[in-house]
Structure 1
Amino acid sequence: MRLYAQTTVRRSRQVLADLIAVALICAAVKLALVAHDAIRRLADPGRKAESAGNSLSDGLVDAGDAASKVPFVGGQLKKPLRSAAEAGTGLADAGRSLQDTVGHVATLVMIALIVIPVVIVLLLWLPPRLRWIRRSALTRRLANNPGGADILALRVLAGPQHELAALPTPPGGLAEAWRRGDEQVIADLAAIGLRQAGLRA
């Protein structure tokens, strides 16, 4: 199985197409990672809210513990401070929730920005490459089989005629020479067939 053509022009086109496909996939991954990092930065307010909420809650809990030691009214002072501490905990929870949401969005955007372009590139690039690999293998196998050169020559005669102008025209024409089994004409036509497939004789 041959991955690249043997003829220079077609091989150059194939290598260029492969490089473009790889470059587009790398660019998609890089863009996705940049977008992921940018979206993750939107979670900074959530981190600050979580930190502030935890600090507020801890401070109010400590204040409530200290207030509970005041004789006679300590229990009454502690209750509102505990309630305020729960509000601080709620702020911290909201900050964590914001961070989680932003993290999920960043991950989903990153996956979408990788998967969609990669699928498009693969759909545009891979089928023609696989078709060429399969066709070149079949053409090579045909050329190596007994009578395969005749079939290749016939395919060339039945196809576009522009490449036939370079061949010397025997008496009666190329088709007549092919019918007679002229080995040189068949070999020349088969070589054109191989060249059209990107292969050398």
Structure 2
Amino acid sequence: MRLYAQTPARRCRQVLADLIAATLIYAAVKLALAVRDAIMRLADPGRKAEDAGTSLSDGLVDAGDAASKVPFVGDQLKKPLRSAAEAGTGLADAGRSLQDTVGQVATLTTVALIVIPTVFVLLLWLPPRLRWIRRSAVTRRIAAGAGGADLLALRVLAGPPRELAALPTPPGGFAAAWRRGDEQVIADLAAIGLRQAGLRS
């Protein structure tokens, strides 16, 4: 299986198209990761809220434990401190929830920014490349088989006549020369057929 043409002009176009496709996909990935980093910075307030809530809750729990040791009124002092500690836990939970939400948004955005451009590039780039690979394989198989030059010459005769203008017109025309089996004309036409497929004889 040949991935690139043998003719320089077509090979250069194929390499250029491959480089452009790879560059666009790389750029999409880089952009998606940069956007993800920017979105993840929105989670900083959530982290600060979680840290503050955790610190507040731990401090109030410690204060409640200390207050509970006060004779006679310890339990009464401990209850409001425990309630306030629960509020701190709620603040920490809210901070964690914000971080989770931001993380999910960042992940979905990153996936979308990678998948959508990559699929678009592949749809534009891959089908022509696969078509050329298949066509070149078929053309090589035809050329290598019995009567391959005749078939390639016939394919050229059936196609657009623009490349025939570069060849000297045989007596009676190319079709007549092909019918009578003119080996030179058939070889010239077959060479054009290979060249059209980006191959050399």
Smaller-chain TM-score bracket: over 0.9
Q: Could you tell me which residue of structure 2 aligns to residue 146 of structure 1?
A: 146
C-alpha distance in 1, partners of 2:187/2:124? 35
Q: How big is the shift at 1:104?
A: 1.0
Alignment of 1:122-137 (within 5 A): 122-137=122-137
Q: How big is the shift at 1:172?
A: 1.2
Q: Could you tell me which residue of structure 2 aligns to residue 159 of structure 1?
A: 159
Q: Could you tell me which residue of structure 2 aligns to residue 67 of structure 1?
A: 67
Q: Any idea what SS the aligned residue of 2:141 has?
A: helix
Q: Any idea what SS the aligned residue of 1:200 has?
A: coil
Q: How big is the shift at 1:66?
A: 1.5
Q: How big is the shift at 1:154?
A: 0.9
Q: How big is the shift at 1:114?
A: 0.8
Q: Any idea what SS the aligned residue of 1:168 has?
A: coil
Deviations 1:91-138 (A, max 9, x none): 001101111111111111111111111111111111110000000010
RMSD: 0.7
Q: Could you tell me which residue of structure 2 aligns to residue 186 of structure 1?
A: 186
Alignment of 1:15-54 (within 5 A): 15-54=15-54
C-alpha distance in 2, partners of 1:54/1:171? 96
For 2:184, the aligned partner's letter is Q
Q: Could you tell me which residue of structure 2 aligns to residue 3 of structure 1?
A: 3
C-alpha distance in 2, partners of 1:162/1:76? 101
With the length of structure 2 as denominator, give the TM-score of the two structures: 0.98
For 2:20, the aligned partner's letter is I
Q: How big is the shift at 1:174?
A: 1.3
C-alpha distance in 2, partners of 1:72/1:173? 120
Identity of aligned residues (%): 85
C-alpha distance in 1, partners of 2:68/2:151? 101
C-alpha distance in 2, partners of 1:135/1:49? 62
Correspondence 1:83 to 2:83: yes
For 1:54, the aligned partner's letter is T
Q: Any idea what SS the aligned residue of 1:194 has?
A: helix
Worse overlay, 97-106 or 181-190 = 97-106
Q: Could you tell me which residue of structure 1 aligns to residue 13 of structure 2?
A: 13
* Structure 1 stretches of at least 4 aligned residues deviating more than 3 Å after TM superposition: none
Deviations 1:164-200 (A, max 9, x none): 1111112111111111000000000000000000001
Length, aligned pairs only: 201
Q: How big is the shift at 1:86?
A: 0.5
Q: Any idea what SS the aligned residue of 1:172 has?
A: coil
Q: How big is the shift at 1:59?
A: 1.0
With the length of structure 1 as denominator, give the TM-score of the two structures: 0.98
C-alpha distance in 1, partners of 2:170/2:94? 88
C-alpha distance in 1, partners of 2:106/2:150? 61
Gap regions ≥5 residues in structure 1: none
C-alpha distance in 1, partners of 2:64/2:171? 113
Worse overlay, 63-72 or 113-122 = 63-72
Q: How big is the shift at 1:65?
A: 1.3
Gap regions ≥5 residues in structure 2: none
Deviations 1:40-69 (A, max 9, x none): 110000000000001111111111112112
